[in-house]
Structure 1
Amino acid sequence: MRIQLLKCNVICSTRADMNTVTREFLIVIVAFTLLSGLMPQSTTIAYKISPESKVWVEGTSTIHDWTCGATEIKGTVELTFGTDMAPAISAAQVTVPIKKMDCDNSTMDRKLQKALKMKDTPNLLFEFESATTQDAAVADSFEVATLGYMMIAGQTRRITVTQYLTERVDGTIIFRGSFPVSMKDYGVKPPTALLGTIRTGNEVTVFFKFVLDPSRSNS
């Protein structure tokens, strides 16, 4: 009789312990499931840069200022949407064919193509590394400090670009900004004309407006 009672006590105790463990395990599973449902979900969307986008370069010379604009821009931008007010850039690459840079002057076009070594490196290229987003002074706009790599004439340099993000009512996202470029940093000799009597300045500024259209995304 004592043996049976002892055996029952052991078995009952073991079953009670197992039931306790099972209940605790179920509680953990339920809690994890509930928390997972409450955790913010993020979505990443890859956009193709819209034809509405613009890139242009402004520079100086010994006689007048000049501007060259890109008639073709290629690239993609990946944005991650979460609980933050602004989407975060997770990846980006922008390519501008040098052949598609138009200076409204055929002579300047040729000199620019030669200076940028178009035959060896036919594209201007920017590749994204990282970005930090914060509220901008302008209403409904966000300031995005972007780090990346700029390739010009076969030379690559790490640059910082400050751009501003806005979103239209239709969901279109726009990035605007500019950054300075020293041609000599990329081994580019500033173009000249008339036997060197007309010289362009070494410092230029690149301006851009990238339009990301929801209809041109992978969503």
Structure 2
Amino acid sequence: MVRFSDFRVFFLLAASLLIGVTAGFSQTNYSLSGSPHFKIEGGSSLHDWAMISEKGVGQAVFVLENGQFKSAKSLSISFVAETLKSGTRGLDNNAYKALKTDKNKEIRFVLKELTGKGASLSAKGDLTIAGVTKSVSFPVKMSAAGMKLTFEGSLETRLTNFSIAPPTALLGTVKTEDEIKLSFKSTFQPTL
């Protein structure tokens, strides 16, 4: 015959095991800190080019175990497209026109899944450029300094994947190549 006290002992034992298993885990809100680095590189019939932005906003919820990064519950990051600068006004203006920045102000990435262990991870998510959203995946390196987490990676894609016509200049004599490389380095810190 099972007694009520047996159920109580079983319940207390199960509860203490559950608490012991989850006690080391926590979900922590993070935000983008410092100066992020976003870069778009490509080529043309005249020369290679690059545009860099060091401004952006981002939020994330990371799962930590005993203060160590375990996984990402969510992450989104965006920056204003017109903060991308090449150092050449004409190139910048052609790029903004191609990116349709008058209607699509931001470039945005929303993480859907982060897999892997340690410093070598793989990210999957939705990347929005010029108002077009595409599913992308790419390798990511992660490093930690105290509670700050830095993510670094790159993705090779095409302008036409985002319905962007490669820009031309000088009456069409200079043509931008379709292939581009997107790279980033961004640091997140706990939200106060």
Q: Normalised by the shorter chain, which TM-score bucket?
A: over 0.9
Is the CA contact 1:75–1:93 (under 8 Å) kept in the aligned structure 2?
yes
Is the CA contact 2:62–2:69 (under 8 Å) kept in the aligned structure 1?
no
What is the one-letter code of the residue matched to 1:207?
S
Unmatched 5+ stretches in structure 2:
none
Identity among equivalent positions (%) equals 20
Is the CA contact 1:51–1:73 (under 8 Å) kept in the aligned structure 2?
no
Q: Given the two structures, how large is their TM-score scaled by the length of structure 2?
A: 0.92
The RMSD of aligned alpha carbons is: 1.7
Aligned length: 191
Picking from 102, 106, 128, the partner of 1:151 is 128
Residues 52-94 of structure 1 deviation map (CA, whole Å, 9 limit, x = unaligned):
2211111111121111001311111221112695331110111
Is the CA contact 1:132–1:145 (under 8 Å) kept in the aligned structure 2?
yes
Picking from 156, 160, 180, the partner of 2:137 is 160
- In the other structure, the counterpart of 1:32 is 14
Picking from 171, 182, 186, the partner of 2:158 is 182
- In the other structure, the counterpart of 1:59 is 42
Give the superposition deviation at 1:179: 0.4
Instruction: Name the SS of the counterpart of 1:51 in structure 2.
Output: strand
Q: Given the two structures, how large is their TM-score scaled by the length of structure 1?
A: 0.81
1:116 is aligned to 2:93? no
Residues 140-179 of structure 1 deviation map (CA, whole Å, 9 limit, x = unaligned):
xx111111001111111100021011111x3221100000
Q: Which has the larger radius of gyration?
A: 1
- In the other structure, the counterpart of 1:87 is 70
Give the superposition deviation at 1:125: 1.0
- Comparing both structures, which one devotes a greater share of its residues to helix? 1
Counterpart Cα distance in 2 of 1:50 and 1:167: 14
Instruction: Name the SS of the counterpart of 1:30 in structure 2.
Output: helix
What is the one-letter code of the residue matched to 1:47?
Y
Unmatched 5+ stretches in structure 1:
1-16, 136-141
Alignment of 1:177-216 (within 5 A): 177-214=153-190
